[in-house]
Structures are given as structure tokens and as C-alpha cells.
Copies of this chain bind each other. A is one copy, B any other.
């Protein structure tokens, strides 16, 4: 029903080989025959069947983006960045939404991207060494974002240092009891970001000679709801903190809501700092640490394209790109102000 290459060949009075060459802009086609072919193709509204081309060449001209839970802000932004450069380079982009531990297992077992794409970008999926090895054995070029490994090129940020900077900001404002709002209690998916950010939190406190109180480390599930619950928990403590570092802006926003509901003034009575610089952070006045998200996606796509070029042949080197972060102070953090202490206390 729809035109194939032989229809075009017939219409133009040439062979299919010539049509193929002419349409793809290959050299060694007489200008006049190229014209004839182009005209015939246009008349027939011909589009080449990519599947036939894929079969013949072994290249799919498609790449897969694997993300856990792509409705989260970080992932959508990152995918958008990658998508833009991939599309510009003429690639189709396939979405693999790998959320939950079972779909994760299935993905790793089946590796459904094989023979479907020329490469994949894995965003923030934590992978053990043997899992990395398995993926690598599939033969498809991979770049990871968030996760660093020797095995594949990656793009990420320095979570430890960024988190440390966030906490130092709180310390400099005079806070000593600082809550940490982190991931799920079990971190069943084993994300690395929470681990590293926690490490930065510890480093900052220790550098200030402040004792770590484990009860100040509460789960926030990387969601707004979780952030709100975390605050409830922190403020129910006997000796509650005066500030909190939330490992994502979404959790910070949840925290802010809980504080509002509780009637706790921000930042007069409690300071909150987030992580990401979510689009909304500016509008909410949230102090946070900025990370370039779209740019990480773009960079990942660049790395993948590059890696696919040199896929066969020369020794693989796997560049590890670390992008800069920076503290952005807005209005949810302020000086520690022991207004609630009994007047006249030491």
C-alpha cells in the first residue's frame, strides 16, 4: 500500500541500488539521475523502511534511555537534554522506564535493548560490578549518568563535596543540630547519590567537631510526601534539630510544607536546604545546591555518540566527566536563633 524502494526505482527508471545511493546522498550518482530519483520519491511520498535498513546494516540508529521513575523532575530534565542532542544527530530515542526492583531485575535479565538500539544511556540506576559486567557483555555501548565506574564513560557530580558544602552553609549560620533527610529506609535500589550525600553530611559535621546523632538521619523517600514525614519525625525528637539538609529539592519542599503546617517559622525557627535547584526552587525561595541536570543529559549523549564512533577498534577509554555544582542561598536558611530557649538560660 505504501511505496517501497522498488516502486521508486520503477518510477525513476533506475535500479534500486541507484535509488538507495541517490536518496542517501552517496557519491557517484549522476546529478540528473539523482534528480529523477528525488522526484520519483517525492511523488510517491516514499519513506525508507528503517527496519529493512537496520537489518541490512546492523545499525538501528536508535538509542535507549533507561531511567528509574521518569516522572521525577531530575529524570525528565536529564532525558530532555539527551533527547535533544540524540534527535539532532538523527537517532530515535526509546524509553525504558525501570522502576521498582522487579522491573529492574527483568531489565537486567532480558536486556531487552539488545538488537534494538545502538547504545544506551543509563540514568542513576545503581549497578553492582557484576551487573555492569553483564551489561558490558551485551556489547552495546553504554554511558551512565550518576553512577561512576571504570567500565563505562559516565557523567556525574561530586555528591560528597556538594552535600558537604550544603551542610557547611548551615553550620556557618550557627546550626549544630542538623537533620538529614535522605532516601528510603532500605535504599533497596541501592542508589549511590544518597550514600554519597550522607557522606558529605558526615564530613561537614565532623570537620566542625559536631557529634553525629543517628536519630537525625531520617528517610524521605525522595518525594515531597516523604520530606514532610521526615520533618514530623525530626520535630518529635526530644532534642530536635534547628535545620535540615534534604537530599533533594522535592523532599525539601515537602519539609517546608510540614513546617508550615506545624506553624514553625522558616527560616526564623528552622532552616531548610535542598539539593538540585529544581525549576521551582527559585519560586519557592529554597536554598539549595544547584546541579546541571539538562547539561548532564546532553553530555551523556555526547559521550555515547563518541563512544559509538570508536566502538570497534582502538582501546576503550571511559571518560568520567564530573560536572560542577554550586550553593544557591535563598530564603529558607537563616542564622540559628535560639529564640525558644528559656530566657536567662546559660
The answer, yes or no, to whether A191 is at the interface (CB within 8 Å) is no
Question: For the complex, what is the distance from the CA of A254 to the CA of B279, rounded to whole Å?
Answer: 11
Complex interface: chain B residues within 8 A of A1 (CB): 139
Contact B87 A97 (CB under 8 A): yes
Complex interface: chain B residues within 8 A of A93 (CB): 94-95
Tell me which of B2, B79, B92, B260 contacts A139 (CB under 8 A). Answer: B2
Contact B80 A114 (CB under 8 A): no
Q: Which of A41-76 contact B (CB under 8 A)?
A: 47-52, 54-55, 60, 62, 70-71, 76
Complex interface: chain B residues within 8 A of A284 (CB): 253, 257, 284
A73 to chain B, nearest CB (A): 9
Question: For the complex, what is the distance from the CA of A166 to the CA of B95, rounded to whole Å?
Answer: 36
A99 to chain B, nearest CB (A): 9
The answer, yes or no, to whether A116 is at the interface (CB within 8 Å) is yes
Complex interface: chain B residues within 8 A of A139 (CB): 1-2
Question: For the complex, what is the distance from the CA of A87 to the CA of B139, rounded to whole Å?
Answer: 24
Complex interface: chain B residues within 8 A of A254 (CB): 283
Q: Which of A60, A70, A92, A93 has the most CB of B within 10 A?
A: A92
The answer, yes or no, to whether A115 is at the interface (CB within 8 Å) is yes
The answer, yes or no, to whether A280 is at the interface (CB within 8 Å) is yes
The answer, yes or no, to whether A224 is at the interface (CB within 8 Å) is yes
Tell me which of B47, B51, B114, B283 contacts A224 (CB under 8 A). Answer: B283
Q: Which of A89-124 contact B (CB under 8 A)?
A: 92-95, 97, 110-112, 114-116
Contact B47 A51 (CB under 8 A): no
Question: For the complex, what is the distance from the CA of A238 to the CA of B96, rounded to whole Å?
Answer: 53
Complex interface: chain B residues within 8 A of A279 (CB): 224
Question: For the complex, what is the distance from the CA of A116 to the CA of B51, rounded to whole Å?
Answer: 8
Complex interface: chain B residues within 8 A of A110 (CB): 47
Question: For the complex, what is the distance from the CA of A94 to the CA of B91, rounded to whole Å?
Answer: 11
A280 to chain B, nearest CB (A): 6
Tell me which of B50, B77, B280 contacts A71 (CB under 8 A). Answer: B77
Tell me which of B51, B80, B253 contacts A51 (CB under 8 A). Answer: B51
The answer, yes or no, to whether A83 is at the interface (CB within 8 Å) is yes
Complex interface: chain B residues within 8 A of A60 (CB): 51
Question: For the complex, what is the distance from the CA of A79 to the CA of B67, rounded to whole Å?
Answer: 14
Given contacts A2-B115, A55-B55, 5 further A-B contacts (CB under 8 A): A70-B80, A79-B95, A83-B95, A92-B94, A254-B283
21 contacts between A and B (CB under 8 A): A47-B112, A49-B115, A50-B116, A51-B51, A51-B54, A51-B115, A52-B55, A55-B55, A70-B83, A76-B76, A83-B95, A83-B97, A84-B97, A87-B97, A93-B94, A94-B94, A94-B95, A224-B280, A224-B283, A228-B283, A257-B283
